[in-house]
Amino acid sequence: VTSFSRLQAVHEYLNTDNMPDCESPTGRPSSTIRLIMQRLEDVRSVASLGCGPGCDAVGVATWLCRRRQQPLDRIVLLDWAMKQWEPMLRTVSESLHEQCCIAATEMATCDIRLPLSQQQDPNVESVLSSSIDLVVVSYVFSETRNWQNFLDDLVVLCDCLFLLSDPTAWQLHLFL
């Protein structure tokens, strides 16, 4: 509930009269912000890497759905502990379907310590290679080591946006 409340506040801000100009802190329109917002408007499918209980996926799907006024085509949930998370994620997915935020959900076990070609679940590479528009990675870099090869493979495979959120900036810089 708290995460959704924060997202609702962001959503309300972005729908204010100030947002169409996409002003930067200097007060001038920012072409970068406009470009990012335009790209986000086109997002139809989201992959959440290291999804855990689905908090990031729910937040992104809900925000995009409300912003665009239409559901996402699909959301892909990936985690190395998918067997443990799957019952909860099924419930979360059903709720998102009922609220018309997503049309389809795919789940797969994914170990980002291994290159994409060495994943034990053969579905990982196929679900990621089929039209992912946005990859969400939150608190994965700081909790995992040796993820660089997987992310390098993913960048080559997916021509998409990445939403990176991690408490340790040096790991984000390492990826970028």
| pLDDT tens profile 101-121 | 899 999 999 998 999 889 888
pLDDT of amino acid 84: 96
Do strands 45-49 and 134-138 pair parallel, antiparallel, or not at all (unpaired)? parallel
Stronger pLDDT, 143 or 6, i.e. the higher one: 143
**Which pLDDT belongs to residue 21?**
47
- In the predicted model, is pLDDT for residue 45 greater than 90? yes
Residue 7 pLDDT grade (very low, low, confident, very high; cuts 50, 70, 90): low
DSSP 68-131: HTS-BSEEEEEETTHHHHHHHHHHHHHHHHHTTSBS-EEEEE--TTS-GGG-SSTHHHHHHHS-
Query: Which residue has 């443990």 as its token pair?
Result: 84
- Euclidean distance between CA atoms 102 and 171, whole angstroms: 31
pLDDT at 12 exceeding the cut of 70: no
Instruction: Say which residue, 66 or 89, is predicted with more confidence.
Output: 89
- How much of the chain exceeds pLDDT 90, in percent? 30
Is a pLDDT exceeding 70 seen at residue 6? no
Q: Which residue has the higher pLDDT, 127 or 26?
A: 127
What is the structure's pLDDT at 152?
A: 87
3-class secondary structure, 135: strand
Please tell me the distance from the alpha carbon of residue 36 to that of residue 18, in angstroms, as a whole number.
Answer: 16
Q: pTM for the whole thing?
A: 0.79
Question: Residue 134 half-sphere exposure, CB side, CA atoms within 13 Å?
Answer: 24
Could you tell me which of 18, 21, 39 has the C-alpha nearest to residue 30? Answer: 21
Mean pLDDT of the chain: 81
